Each structure stands twice: as C-alpha cells, then as structure tokens.
C-alpha cells in the first residue's frame, strides 16, 4: 500500500487520529483500518494500545529535546558557565518547538495537538519522559537564562521561565485554531508567532 513499514504506518495513523478526534475516540480498530493493516498487528508490534501511544509521544519528543540541547550546546560551546545572548537562548528553546509545528510534511502540527492532549490527560508515560529528559534540559536553559539576566533574582527567573513555557505550550496547542482566525497567509502567521513569542519572552525577562 505504501513504502512505509506496517509499524510506521501504525504510528502515523495513531498520531493523526489523536490529533483529529482526541484520545476519547481512539480505538485500535480505527488505527489498524487507517494503517491498512489488521487489528492484531498492533498488539504484535507494540504489545498493547498504551505502549503504542507511548511510542508515538517518544518518537517526536526525543527529537525535539535533542535539537534544543544541541542548539544550547552550540551557544555554550560546551561550557555551562558561559554567558550567552538572551535572545539566542530563547530562540534555542522556542524555535525548535514551533518549527516542529510548521513541518507539515513530517506532521509536526498534528503532533503538537497530540502532545497538548496527552499533557492535559497527564499521561504517565509522558510524565516519566518529562522527568527523565525534559526537566534536566529545562534546568540547563534556566541556568543559561540566569547568567544572561544577572539583575534578576534566581527565583524570579524560575517563575518567568515557567510562564514562558506556558505561553509556548498554549501557542503550540492552539496553533491550528488561531491561524484560521487570522487573515494573513499561514506561513507568514507562523513566522510572526515565533518572532512575537521571542519578543514577548525577552520583555518578560527584561524587568
């Protein structure tokens, strides 16, 4: 049916179905139907439904975290104590997430809706992934921001960064919805979102 393997087709159709209709209506029958395969293929390749969902989340999140980490390391040049430019730090954190959304070919926007829903549902697998991979990188970014904003107390940095993550998460999850309401072309609106969010974060950290 396609050049992709059964396993890949299952992962893709799962992602699309979650984005389109949420977790509530997600069934392995619909998944297998959309992936042009059999019911039992899912249990064969992934064990059970939950482990399939976990792998959908992991597949892209690991990628996002790697990109963020690499961009920060490039600024750092391997030295966590190096003082970097605030805008570049924020760019390294924000841009990969939003670029992933705009990567229509790879279904990035779809994934962000999936992620937003899994986050709200407080998925256990997602929580574990966050603790193991996300939190350490968050801390690295917080450290870098602290060095770039020497006038702000450590505690303030924590709070402001927390709120910036909130603004980013909200924007990612509602990107499709808001872009419809705008009158500019979607591509233009996307780039505007990235720029405005970075400007917003800079302003929030400047006082």
Partner DNA sequence: ACGCAATTCAAACGACTGTTTAAATCAATT
Partner DNA sequence: AATTGATTTAAACAGTCGTTTGAATTGCGT
**Does 52 contact a copy of itself by CB under 8 A?**
no
- For residue 55, give Cα distances in angstroms to 3, 49, 101, 129, 130: 21, 10, 19, 11, 14
Minimal distance, residue 192 CB to a copy of itself, in Å: 8
Under rule CB under 8 A, residue 164 binds a copy of itself:
yes
As a whole number of angstroms, the distance between CA 34 and CA 40 comes to 14
Q: Candidates 41-49, 64-72, 147-155, 162-170: pick the segment binding DNA (CB under 7 A).
A: 41-49
Angle formed at CA 157 by CA 154 and CA 159, multiple of 5 degrees: 115
Q: How many CB atoms lie within 10 A of CB 50?
A: 12
Q: What share of the chain is helix, strand, coil (3-state, %, to 5)?
A: 80, 0, 20
Given 63, 88, 169, 179, the residue binding a copy of itself (CB under 8 A)? 169
Binding of residue 41 to DNA (CB under 7 A): yes
Site for a copy of itself in 79-118 (CB under 8 A): 116-117
Residue 23: CB minimum distance to a copy of itself, A: 5
Tokens coding 60: 């892209």
Are 81 and 150 a contacting pair, CB within 8 Å? no
The one among 12, 13, 14, 37 contacting DNA by CB under 7 A: 37
Choose, by CB under 7 A, the member of 50, 135, 178, 206 that binds DNA: 50
Q: Determine the Cα–Cα distance for residues 139 and 158; give it in Å rounded to an integer.
A: 9
Query: Which is closer to DNA, CB of 43 or CB of 156?
Result: 43
Q: How far is the CB of 1 from DNA (least distance, A)?
A: 9
Which residues lie near a copy of itself (CB under 8 A)?
22-24, 116-117, 119-122, 156, 159-160, 162-171, 173, 177-178, 196-197, 200, 202-207
């Amino acid at each position: 049916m396609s050049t992709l393997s059964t396993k890949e087709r299952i992962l893709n159709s799962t992602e699309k179905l979650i984005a389109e209709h949420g977790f509530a209506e997600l069934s392995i029958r619909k998944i297998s139907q959309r992936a042009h395969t059999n019911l039992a293929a899912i249990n064969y390749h992934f064990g059970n439904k939950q482990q399939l969902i976990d792998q959908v989340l992991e597949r892209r999140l690991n990628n996002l975290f790697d990109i963020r980490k690499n961009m920060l390391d490039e600024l750092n040049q391997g030295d966590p104590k190096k003082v970097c430019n605030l805008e570049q730090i924020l760019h390294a954190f924000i841009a990969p997430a939003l670029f992933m959304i705009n990567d229509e070919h790879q279904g990035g926007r779809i994934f962000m809706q999936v992620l937003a829903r899994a986050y709200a549902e407080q998925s256990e697998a997602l929580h574990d992934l966050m603790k193991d991979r996300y939190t350490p990188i968050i801390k690295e970014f917080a450290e870098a921001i602290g060095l770039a904003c020497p006038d702000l107390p450590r505690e303030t940095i924590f709070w402001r960064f927390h709120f910036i993550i909130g603004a980013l998460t909200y924007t990612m999850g509602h990107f499709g919805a808001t872009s419809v309401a705008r009158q500019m072309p979607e591509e233009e609106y996307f780039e505007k979102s990235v720029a405005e969010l970075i400007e917003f974060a800079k302003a929030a950290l400047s006082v």
